[in-house]
Structure 1
Amino acid sequence: MIKFGSLSWLLFSNYLTCACSSQDSIVSVIHRLDQFDRKLLDNKMDVLDIIDGAKTSLRAELKENIRDQVREAMAEILQGESLQDMVKSQIVSELRHLTRGYHQMKRQLHHVSRSLKDVQDETSVFYQSVLKKTDVWNQKNSSDVCVRDKHKLEVELHKCDVYAADLKADNEQFVELNETYQSQISQLKTDLVSASSPVTQNVNSTSMSPVSTTSVTTPTPEEDYSRILIAPLWSSTLHQFRQLNIHSNSLSVYQYLNIKRLESVAYIAKTGKLMFGSYSPYRISASTLDTREVTVIREGVLTYSMAVDEDRDIIFIATRQPQHSISRMSTQGKDFTAIIDLSTYGSYPRQITLDTRRKRIYGCNSGKLFTVTYDGQGLATLATGSGMYAVTLDQTAGVLYYNNEKKLMKMTVSNNVSTEVTTLDATPWNMILYRGTIYYGGHGSSIVGAVDVTYNTVAYTLQSISMEGVNSLHLCLIP
């Protein structure tokens, strides 16, 4: 019994011990479960963050893929420059419509001006006639009759004044319409240049039929009587200028000047004078447009280019002698001064052109395209290359055209970004822009070339000019 009691007590003690141990295990398990729930919640938040990051990454990748597909689709849609063609067609249509409206407006303005003049003449005659009759009536009739007739005269004259005022108002309205039209034309030209493709185009040069050679003709007032004088450069033999008559696209001999050792030519429309530089001896001379008389303007100056700002009465000169510089003088040859010394800048300057609105000079010196102000400040290099001789400016569109050997380049002045336009038939010595076409004289090649930079960019040769001892040409526009 004693042994049994001890066993019973031992079993009871073990039970109590197990019970206590079980309670501790349950508490521990519950605690661990709580910890597991907290970890599970934390892991859930991490998983949600990972899912959100994956979603964001997938969205970005999807957008990029869609953008690439849209670009490919747009490239296929725009293949062949169909959008550019539509823009050009629309602008050309609008330009033609405005041109017709402008010509109609000019005819109406001419009619109104003529009517106004007729009315003024008739009013003046009528007024003088009535005054004479009034004097007679004052002598023959009583004062009451004269007063009544004078009153009638004043009424009629008032009516005439009202009609004349209406005609003047119409005239002013037509002047405003004319200014609006000119502004729209300039804007359309700017839009057309902006719509042209900026992609580099390497177009093989093609030749057109040579222009016909005819005698000098006098065009009618409706025709464009502008011409381009073609000067033979550096010839030791006397040669006359050639003359490209733009209105008829014909070539003739300019009969008034017979010159050798020519370097450059410029024209001053205000005075109707040709300015030309020569060497041996170094000098700048002038001649009225249609005469053989030549006057020396400046001695000791060797120039390869001159550019005229007629509004300010200034000629800018790219000089090789007496120093490599850009100089200026008046159109009469007075106040000659160098505005900037380019002796350490590289080779001597070749062709220069002017932005008269912003008072800036643009020029080439064989290896650089540069710009400087009228006062010789702010010298900056815009582009570099080789064989860079020629430059011209479309001031309305804000576009520079220049050459890099035989490549015709263009640069937007606002951002100095250059693109290639086309390849020319020869390296140009100088070039001029006239009504959307660039004309250039060959350097080491006696051709006159052209490029239509408004509607297409195909270079072609207008004329090959054969003169003994001449292999380079200089062009000068006579508007």
Structure 2
Amino acid sequence: MVQMKCLSWLLTCTSLICFCYCQDSVVSVIHRLDQFDRKLLDNKMDVLDIIDGAKTSLRAELKENIRDQVREAMAEILQGESLQDMVKSQIVSELRHLKQGYHQMKRQLHHVSRSLKDFQEETGVFHQSVLKEAHVGNRENSSHVCVRDKQKLEVELHKCDIYAADLETDIERLIALNETCHLKISQLKTALSVSASSPATVVATSTTRLPVLTTSVTTPRPQEEKNRILIAPFWSSTQHQFRQLNIHSNSLSVYHYLTKKYITSVAYIATKRTLLFGSYRPNMISESTLDTSHVTVLREGVRAYGMAVDEGRGIVFVATYQPQRSISRMSTQGKDFTAIIDLSKYGGTPRQITLDTRRKRIYGCSRVKLFTVTYDGQGLATLATGIYMYAVTLDQTAGVLYYNNEKKLMKMTVSNNVSTEVTTLNVVPYNMRLYRGTIYYGGYSPSTVGAVDVTYNTVAYTLQSISMEGIDNLLLCLIP
């Protein structure tokens, strides 16, 4: 019995000793596992650092190799010729071609002038011979000979008029080409000087005009009275002096005599050398010369948003808002004012209008429509529709109508009424005028004057930003 008790105690002690020993072993194993995880984490960070260093080294080496290869390739391509030399040679080549074209144009102009002179001399000789024969025939009582020679002379004189008109058109085109050549040559010379002074990266830019200078002016000299556009503020409650854009020098002048407010439209009568302008508060159409402050009221009770003059027939056409929305006409003296067509139910208020004096047609915009009508108010037709349609002008020689659809400048061939887009302007134009292949437009908020050379389809560019208090847009009037 005593032995059994001792054995039981011995087994208990043995089990306790084994349990304690196992517990110590487990703790040791767990501690070692923690140490192994820490070492593994440290080794992982070291490996990542090594990989990042290798990547950076390989990337730098790769860039250096690529840079060397590019340099070698560029050296092989250029073969000793620098980029500046290439630019210079290209500009010199273009300048040489332009000079050749300019000299060829001068030879053509000389040939046309000589042909015109010879034709005039031949016409004069023919005229004298016909008059001599007619005189002899009268002395011999040969009336039928005089009638025949007179008819022949009329035919020849008609041909002479046609030929002279064609020659004048050709001369105008040659003059415009001459001006363009001079401008291109000056621009190429400027580009050549710039590239010679700074061999930096060449950046292509659009063609721009010289910057417009703002100066004060008194009465213009006779040689400066051509190629200008009068700029008037639209709908301003503050009196502003009119501006003048001198096209030949790209300078902006101020007219001291013309200080008006509440202007709604402008037009110029070259035969009388007077300016017509519509206004409101009160509604009227007035007349003034450019060199005096005297104003003559032609019509009262009329608010005009557009005016166009047919000087050959002595007629002024007016797009009115009051007393009604209509197209009206009057003489250049303001007499015989009458509405030719009522547009009250047509939709929109008529704005700028332009004339085809050969076909006796009126073209106009009414904010949402481009329309046409005859001088007698017949055949009203909608040519195009859009939004913010304010401005329209006509190239009568080419038979092309230019108008705006919001900021898009559109052109339409009047023979088939097909429209195409010319370019996108930087503002919505409120007025536009065509002069020698260039459209000048007054911007609708902000008030800017821009231009588009439609002959060469260049992009629109801003000539001048006009700062006038209380206005959002400008009215333009061409003064030839």
Give the TM-score taking structure 1 as reference length. Answer: 0.61
For the pair 1:377 / 2:378, whether they are aligned, the reply is: yes
1:453 maps to what in 2? 454
Q: Residues 253 and 396 of structure 1: is their aligned pair in 2 closer, same or farther, counting only changes over 3 Å? A: same
Note the C-alpha offset of 1:98: 3.4
1:181 maps to what in 2? 167
2:336 maps to what in 1? 335
2:321/2:350 contact within 8 Å kept:
yes
Note the C-alpha offset of 1:187: 9.3
- Which residue identity lines up with residue 360 of structure 2 in the other structure? K
Once the two structures are superposed, what CA deviation does each residue of 1:212-259 show, in whole Å capped at 9, x if it has no partner? 2234374564x7722111001111111000100122111110111110
CA–CA distance in 1 between the matches of 2:423 and 2:406? 12
CA–CA distance in 2 between the matches of 1:253 and 1:280? 25
| Aligned 1:28-427 pairs, distance under 5 A | 97-102=107-112, 178-182=164-168, 184=170, 210-216=211-217, 218=220, 221=223, 225-427=226-428
Q: Residues 97 and 326 of structure 1: is their aligned pair in 2 closer, same or farther, counting only changes over 3 Å? A: farther
SS at match of 2:110: helix
1:224/1:247 contact within 8 Å kept:
no
Note the C-alpha offset of 1:412: 0.3
Q: Residues 252 and 309 of structure 1: is their aligned pair in 2 closer, same or farther, counting only changes over 3 Å? A: same
Which runs of at least 4 in structure 1 moved beyond 6 Å after TM superposition? Answer: 88-94, 105-110, 172-177, 186-189, 204-207
Q: Residues 220 and 267 of structure 1: is their aligned pair in 2 closer, same or farther, counting only changes over 3 Å? A: closer
CA–CA distance in 2 between the matches of 1:477 and 1:89? 32
- Which residue identity lines up with residue 340 of structure 1 in the other structure? I
SS at match of 2:379: coil
Note the C-alpha offset of 1:207: 6.3
CA–CA distance in 1 between the matches of 2:248 and 2:173? 25
1:229/1:476 contact within 8 Å kept:
yes
1:267/1:274 contact within 8 Å kept:
yes
1:388/1:403 contact within 8 Å kept:
yes
- Which residue identity lines up with residue 276 of structure 1 in the other structure? F
1:105/1:174 contact within 8 Å kept:
no
SS at match of 1:99: helix
SS at match of 1:311: coil
Note the C-alpha offset of 1:431: 0.4
For the pair 1:478 / 2:440, whether they are aligned, the reply is: no
- Greater CA deviation, 386-395 or 437-446? 437-446
CA–CA distance in 2 between the matches of 1:421 and 1:176? 32
Note the C-alpha offset of 1:102: 4.1
CA–CA distance in 1 between the matches of 2:369 and 2:160? 47
1:407/1:420 contact within 8 Å kept:
yes
What RMSD in Å do the two structures reach over aligned CA positions? 3.4
Note the C-alpha offset of 1:181: 1.8
2:400/2:414 contact within 8 Å kept:
yes
CA–CA distance in 2 between the matches of 1:253 and 1:187? 30
CA–CA distance in 1 between the matches of 2:99 and 2:388? 37
CA–CA distance in 2 between the matches of 1:394 and 1:89? 29
1:205/1:425 contact within 8 Å kept:
no
Note the C-alpha offset of 1:93: 8.6
Once the two structures are superposed, what CA deviation does each residue of 1:19-66 show, in whole Å capped at 9, x if it has no partner? xxxxxxxxxxxxxxxxxxxxxxxxxxxxxxxxxxxxxxxxxxxxxxxx
CA–CA distance in 2 between the matches of 1:205 and 1:340? 44
Unpaired segments ≥5 residues, structure 1:
1-87, 113-171, 190-203
Unpaired segments ≥5 residues, structure 2:
1-97, 122-157, 176-204
Note the C-alpha offset of 1:386: 0.5
2:116/2:167 contact within 8 Å kept:
no
1:91/1:188 contact within 8 Å kept:
no
Q: Residues 281 and 178 of structure 1: is their aligned pair in 2 closer, same or farther, counting only changes over 3 Å? A: same
Note the C-alpha offset of 1:444: 2.0
Q: Residues 299 and 205 of structure 1: is their aligned pair in 2 closer, same or farther, counting only changes over 3 Å? A: farther
1:102/1:178 contact within 8 Å kept:
no
2:422/2:457 contact within 8 Å kept:
no
CA–CA distance in 2 between the matches of 1:275 and 1:214? 25
CA–CA distance in 2 between the matches of 1:477 and 1:447? 16
Note the C-alpha offset of 1:90: 12
- Which residue identity lines up with residue 402 of structure 2 in the other structure? Y
Q: Residues 333 and 406 of structure 1: is their aligned pair in 2 closer, same or farther, counting only changes over 3 Å? A: same
- Greater CA deviation, 255-264 or 175-184? 175-184
Q: Residues 89 and 235 of structure 1: is their aligned pair in 2 closer, same or farther, counting only changes over 3 Å? A: same
1:447/1:463 contact within 8 Å kept:
yes
CA–CA distance in 1 between the matches of 2:351 and 2:280? 15
CA–CA distance in 2 between the matches of 1:101 and 1:434? 26
Once the two structures are superposed, what CA deviation does each residue of 1:129-157 show, in whole Å capped at 9, x if it has no partner? xxxxxxxxxxxxxxxxxxxxxxxxxxxxx
- Which residue identity lines up with residue 182 of structure 1 in the other structure? E
Aligned length: 319
Identity %: 68
1:141 maps to what in 2? none
CA–CA distance in 2 between the matches of 1:466 and 1:180? 42
SS at match of 2:167: helix
Q: Which has the higher contact order (CA 8 A, sep 6+)?
A: 1
2:210/2:250 contact within 8 Å kept:
no
Note the C-alpha offset of 1:100: 3.5
2:285/2:302 contact within 8 Å kept:
yes
CA–CA distance in 2 between the matches of 1:390 and 1:356? 19
CA–CA distance in 1 between the matches of 2:347 and 2:101? 43
Q: Residues 407 and 205 of structure 1: is their aligned pair in 2 closer, same or farther, counting only changes over 3 Å? A: farther
CA–CA distance in 2 between the matches of 1:310 and 1:228? 18
